[in-house]
Structure 1
Amino acid sequence: MNGGAASSSGDATVLKRRHTTTNQTNHSNQKNPMPKNSSSSLCSLYSSASFLKWTISDVVHVATHHWMPCLFACGLLFFMAVEYTLFMVPSSSPPFDLGFVFTRSLHRVLESSPQLNNVLAALNTVFVLMQTSYILWTWFIEGRPRATISALFMFTCRGICGYSTQLPLPQGFLGSGVDFPVGNVSFFLFFSGHVAGSVIASLDMRRMNRWGLAWTFDLLNVLQAVRLLGTRGHYTIDLAVGLGAGYIFDSLAGKYLEDSKLKIAKNSVNGHASKHDLVA
């Protein structure tokens, strides 16, 4: 009897241990499942790729409704071919500038007529003063500091870039004592503050629906760029980057003002509004 009871007790203990071991094994398998086949995962990833779902109608739609990115894609391929096949300009030669090539006739005229060069330089200086006056007017008179902040951002960055890489003065440079900055003083070539300042003023005019003034400034900016190339006062890249810089720093100034307004609103809610904020 006692032996049978002991045997039954032993069997129960063994079954209990087996049950515990099985549970532990199942629990371990749940924690550490078998890894899936990596190749099947890659196949699943590739099968769900977006480009596999493109159709001819999708391509036609992109080409007709998004022609500008398509044009830039063609430009990428074209200039890759140009870049990798052209002959590099040797260090002993002056830089090649396409703008100088297009304005050779104007350069010869200005070179042979210093008086005409001075007249155009004086008119360009008047245009720069117009830009400066308008940008300051928007802040001091109208209380809108965006254009002024844009100009401050732009000229600071221009100073950093111009000093960091000091380009050589272009061959055939035609200076003038009445050109801005007046007095034949030294200046940074990269990038053009003349062009960038005009763009900043023009963008502000557009925001205020002053379309006539904006188009006038754009036209004068084009004439200014042609004159600067004709006098060899700037390289083409200086003017191109100046154009982009005007847009970039205007956008940065706008973001700065938006962030400032959010801070002012937050401070006013908390009862810490300042009377000295420049942004109303």
Structure 2
Amino acid sequence: MNGDKHNLHHRSTPQTTTLLKPPNTNISINNFNLKKPSNYQHITENPTEWRGWSSLSDASCLRWTGTDVLDMFKYHPVPCLFAVSLLFFMGVEYTLRMIPSSSPPFDIGFVATAGLHRVLVSSPALNTVLAGLNTVFVGMQTAYIIGVWVVEGRPRAAVAALFMFTCRGILGYSTQLPVPEEFLGSGADFPVGNVSFFLFYSGHVAGSVIASLDMRRMRRWELAILFDTLNLLQVVRLLSTRGHYTIDLAVGVGAGILFDSLAGKYMNKVVVADVDGSYKNRALLS
């Protein structure tokens, strides 16, 4: 029994992580988990008294070795790839000649879907069918997000969607982008009736991501994969019809992830406040 208690205590102990190698109980210079200063405990308890920048002779970079650099590439290839891409795009940014203001925006997604765009131009009926199917998918997103709140009593996805669409409205109004010249509208599309709409960012994509993330939390893997697949097809269609720029769709993915995370933090805060007695009535957010 004592052994079990010991193991339980051991498992619950927080593990420190390192920058360049997987977690290791040994603090080593060679893995960039650099040596703690002699007054480490005092520093952590009184962070305002830490003056680590006052002495450059203690700078951590002075203790880096060639092995450290190799370990960085070995154990963390993704950040290293990002570092290389940063240098590459810095070069691109300083050498690329931007398109003139008199020209339509350049969009690589439009270039990639030029063939599909020509097909939809020549077949308005197909464009209408695809628009209708996309509207059905938007209805599926909406039904799921509202359904898990009113049926299952889990409002996180609904809160995330409210956060997301509010922010989208603010950004869409703040910088109003021109509708692409080759835009192929349809009365079956959403918003229904070819009304004006905000381009930045894509609420279609962000809503799909919010629903998919909720499905994954509930281990509804097959449904989540279905939504992700339909979302990908939706992205291709929106590019083909010029209903969104590529940047709108890419940011839509990030927005879905961001606002789902913010909704989770909000819900945790509400629950804690309710336990503390600060909220006497949380209305329907239970």
- Give your verdict on TM over 0.5: yes
Q: Is contact 1:189-1:235 (8 Å) kept? A: yes
1:135 alignment partner, SS class: helix
Counterpart in 2 of 1:28?
Answer: none
Which residue of the partner structure matches residue 124 of structure 1?
134
Among 249, 254, 260, the residue aligned to 2:270: 260
In 2, Cα distance between equivalents of 1:273 and 1:84: 54
Q: Take 2:141 and 2:216, find their aligned partners in 1: how far apart are those partners?
A: 14
CA distance in 2 between counterparts of 1:237 and 1:86 reads 18
Match in the other structure for 1:180: 190
Aligned residue number for residue 202 of structure 1: 212
Alignment CA distance shift 1:43-1:152 (3 Å) = closer
Specify the structure having the higher radius of gyration (Cα).
Answer: 1
Select 1:157's aligned residue among 151, 167, 173. Answer: 167
Q: Does 1:141 align with 2:178?
A: no
Aligned equivalents of 1:42, 1:156: Cα separation in 2? 43
Q: Considering fraction of residues, name the structure with more helix.
A: 1
Distance 2:236 2:114 in 1: 11
Measure how far apart 1:275 and its partner are: 5.1
SS at match of 1:84: helix
1:226 aligns with 2:236: yes
* TM-aligned CA distance change 1:265 to 1:114, over 3 Å: same
Cα separation, partners in 2 of 1:177 and 1:48, compared to 1, 3 Å: same
1:274 deviates by 2.8
Describe the shift of the 1:89–1:273 C-alpha distance in structure 2 as closer, same or farther (beyond 3 A).
Answer: closer
Is 1:278 paired with 2:284? yes
The answer to whether the aligner puts 1:54 opposite 2:64 as a matched pair is yes
Structure 1 outlier segments of 4+, above 3 Å: 41-44, 275-280
Give me the whole-angstrom Cα distance separating, in 1, the residues matched to 2:167 and 2:119.
34
Match of 2:47 in 1: none
Instruction: Give me the TM-score of the superposition, normalised by structure 2.
Output: 0.79
CA distance in 2, matches of 1:224, 1:273: 41
State the distance in 2 between where 1:118 and 1:237 align: 24
Q: CA deviation at 1:276?
A: 4.5
What secondary structure sits across from 1:126 in the alignment? helix
User: How far off is 1:278 after superposition?
Assistant: 3.3
Identity %: 67
SS of alignment partner, residue 229 of structure 2: helix
The corresponding residue for 1:238 is 248
Query: What does residue 35 of structure 2 align with?
Result: none
Backbone CA RMSD of aligned residues: 1.8
Q: Given the two structures, how large is their TM-score scaled by the length of structure 1?
A: 0.81
Deviations 1:130-150 (A, max 9, x none): 000000011000000000000
The answer as to whether partners of 2:273 and 2:279 remain within 8 angstroms in 1 is no
